[in-house]
Amino acid sequence: MDKRNVTTHPGNWSRWIDTADRKRIRAVQDQKVSRQARWVYTNSSYWREKFDEANCLPSAISGVDDLTAVPFATKAEYRTAQSERPPYGGLLCRSREDLYESGAFVWETSGTTGEPVQFLCSQNEYFRVDVEATCRILWTTGLRPGDTVAMFWPLTLWAVGHGIVDAARELGMTVFPLGPSYSSEYRVEKLAAYQPSTIMTTPSYALRLAEVASENGFDPHALDVERVIVSGEPLPDGTRTAIAEAWGVSERVFNYYGLSEAFNCRSIECEEHDGMHVLEDLYLCQVVDPDGRDPVSEGETGELVVTALEQRDIASGFHYRTGDLARFTDDPCACGRTTRRIKIESRKDDMKTIRGVNVFPQAIESIIRKTDSVADEFRLVLEQVGSLDRLTVVLEPEADLSEEHYESIQDQLERDFEKAFGGLTVMVEFVAPETLERFDFKADRWVDKR
């Protein structure tokens, strides 16, 4: 353990910063931001070029407020840089050979939005930052030594699964890796056999797994799952409630945020479920104007920008625009923590503008979850009719719903959608149960036929 430089804290993974005064938190972040600016400029050719092109001197960055002068990084820019200068696009702060010599950790983005972006760091940095952060967020959900976790994320070049497994080892927990390529039916059988206390997956697959369990003669409530930790998709209140009811876990559905580019930027809800706590000694999370660069006020929606404060081997987590729309609060939480909390609302690229109205899948999902007799799966079909765009929500009824009730539910949903979207007409179409493909990973609801 010592050779990996993991900071272990037997019996307690809380930190002083969790309950620190906001002024002290800002002082720590100011110092780390200043240090990171100098570090990435000196050691990363990618960032040195960006600073120089913007006529920005790293010596002028003395704290968080000065980041307004620093150019942002984006995933699209990383893809371009890595295409032109493979494999890491000038982001490395140490040579690849040095990292390999000391033992390295390689990871990539999930690839759900395009060509995966590649990253590399030392094993030392992986355990010092990522595994440490993962231990802390799992501890926040109430997981303790002896707990058992069924994890449905893959153990591949996508990093999240490895961080969970290695953190569980440090915490004295057991992980059942049930990611691809196991079938949903097989996974349910293993849940029944091993009865883990916790499952970790995406919100959409948490619902799908409960559905498969019921279809195969297993009562999800009888599987003794105590908590569900979800990530990878926004979590509307209606979906949270549906997951809790499906698994019988009451208030123990925890939303978790991670970001591959920023060394996985671990953030998670506490037992209050009022926003995800940022580990502010490791990550700076800011919210800025989605179409500009100025920070938005507390409580306003903007784009989440992350700076990894302890990343040394690769500079991918510096002043990075995530593409996630979020809100933040610095108010103390009822749990006693004082760290910033964020709520992820959607992905910027999930939004479609239809007849001048911005439509997010999560807004549709929230209405569906409140509607009785409708199954969990749905699609959003965009078509052009004449000169206008038309949106149709394609749904499945619950298996025991008779066709004579379809029309009344369609009418109700169309009225609810029209009210939610300021008069926009949204059509509703039912298809037979089990018609729509289920997602084992991140759900992609849009079908654009224009």
pLDDT of residue 292: 92
Query: Mean pLDDT across the stretch 291-299?
Result: 94
List CB contacts of 72: < 8 A, sequence separation 6 or more: 293, 305, 319, 320, 321
- In 3D space, the residue among 370, 377, 348, 374 whose CA is nearest the CA of residue 360 turns out to be 348
Q: Which residue has the higher pLDDT, 17 or 264?
A: 17
pLDDT of residue 113: 63
d(CA 216, CA 212): 6
- In 3D space, the residue among 74, 130, 135 whose CA is nearest the CA of residue 105 turns out to be 130
pLDDT digits (tens, 9 = 90+) for 49-66: 999 999 999 999 999 999
d(CA 446, CA 393): 10
Residue 142 predicted with pLDDT over 70 = yes
If you compute the radius of gyration of the chain from its CA atoms, what whole number of angstroms results? 23
d(CA 286, CA 265): 12
29 Cα distance to chain centroid: 23
Q: What is the DSSP secondary structure assignment for residue 87, as one 8-state letter?
A: T
Residue 8 predicted with pLDDT over 70 = no
Q: Which residue has the higher pLDDT, 171 or 4?
A: 171
Q: Which pTM was predicted?
A: 0.84
Q: How confident is the model at residue 11 (pLDDT cuts 50, 70, 90)?
A: low
d(CA 436, CA 330): 41
pLDDT of residue 149: 98
pLDDT of residue 7: 43
Sign of CA dihedral 364, 369, 375, 376: positive
pLDDT of residue 177: 96
pLDDT of residue 1: 32
Residue 156 predicted with pLDDT over 60 = yes
Residue 429 predicted with pLDDT over 70 = yes
Sign of CA dihedral 444, 81, 70, 98: positive
Average pLDDT across the chain, whole number = 91
d(CA 413, CA 393): 9
CA separation, residue 391 to residues 303, 384, 447 (Å): 26, 9, 10
